[in-house]
């Protein structure tokens, strides 16, 4: 995808409103602002939520709230996101935008390591979720995948972000823990017939896994 073509694609398809644009502009100069999903990915996820008719969703990695606002807006009024993060600082900004977007009542934020939060949900007998978005620390991706798969209903969808990891996954000289973790999960998922699978070159790579 060239920059001019990406610009054209956005010009003819992106419907980002003023609130999301402001959130993106406030996040961009932050030291880790690049962690935010792209606006076209947010719009794509809204499409998924609506096609699925999702009501109950999981989010692993909130940051300043862009993906959670996109998902929350696509949910019905009684829809819910169980949102996991460890950062009080970043999620306080997310909370500010959730309030302004009128979606705060749809989002339960758990500030704790997501492995722990998801395990508590499993141990409490929770389940039947329609959708999960995994976008947090990469070394735990495999655990998040297993936990989310457990918590999903059959036919539910997991979206996993950064699966191409800036191209590093295809470069065997790159052996840092994050790259290795994503590469291993990608390979495992190909052979995992508990799910239907599709990997898309959206953003930094997005894998969709539909629980059979």
> Applying CB under 6 A, which residues contact ligand SAM?
35-37, 61-64, 66-67, 84-87, 90, 113-114, 135-137
**Least distance (Å) between residue 212 CB and ligand SAM:** 26
Q: Determine if residue 132 is left, alpha or beta; phi over 0 gives left, psi from -120 to 50 gives alpha, anything else beta.
A: beta
**Least distance (Å) between residue 165 CB and ligand SAM:** 12
Choice between 94 and 209, CB closer to ligand SAM: 94
Taking a C-beta distance cutoff of 8 angstroms, is the pair 51, 75 a contact? no
**Least distance (Å) between residue 191 CB and ligand SAM:** 26
**Least distance (Å) between residue 114 CB and ligand SAM:** 4
Choice between 46 and 64, CB closer to ligand SAM: 64
Choice between 154 and 165, CB closer to ligand SAM: 165
Task: Give phi and psi for 157, each to the nearest 5.
Answer: -125, 135
What is the SS3 assignment for 95? helix
């Amino acid at each position: 995808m060239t920059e001019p073509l990406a610009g054209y694609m956005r010009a003819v398809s992106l419907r980002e409103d003023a609130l999301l644009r402001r959130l993106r502009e406030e996040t961009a100069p932050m030291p880790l602002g690049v962690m935010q999903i792209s606006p076209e990915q947010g719009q794509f996820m809204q499409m998924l939520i609506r096609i699925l008719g999702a009501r109950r969703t999981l989010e692993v990695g909130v940051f300043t709230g862009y993906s959670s606002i996109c998902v929350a807006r696509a949910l019905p009024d009684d829809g819910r996101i169980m949102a996991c993060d460890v950062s009080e600082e970043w999620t306080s900004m997310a909370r500010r935008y959730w309030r302004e977007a009128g979606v705060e009542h749809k989002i339960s934020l758990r500030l704790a390591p997501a492995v722990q939060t998801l395990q508590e949900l499993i141990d409490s007998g929770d389940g039947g979720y329609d959708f999960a978005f995994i976008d947090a620390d990469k070394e735990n991706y495999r655990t998040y995948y297993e936990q989310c798969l457990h918590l999903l209903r059959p036919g539910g969808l997991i979206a996993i972000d950064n699966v191409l990891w800036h191209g590093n996954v295809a470069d065997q000289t790159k052996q840092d823990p994050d790259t290795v973790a994503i590469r291993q999960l990608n390979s495992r998922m190909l052979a995992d017939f508990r799910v239907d699978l599709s990997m898309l070159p959206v953003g930094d790579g997005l894998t969709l896994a539909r629980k059979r």
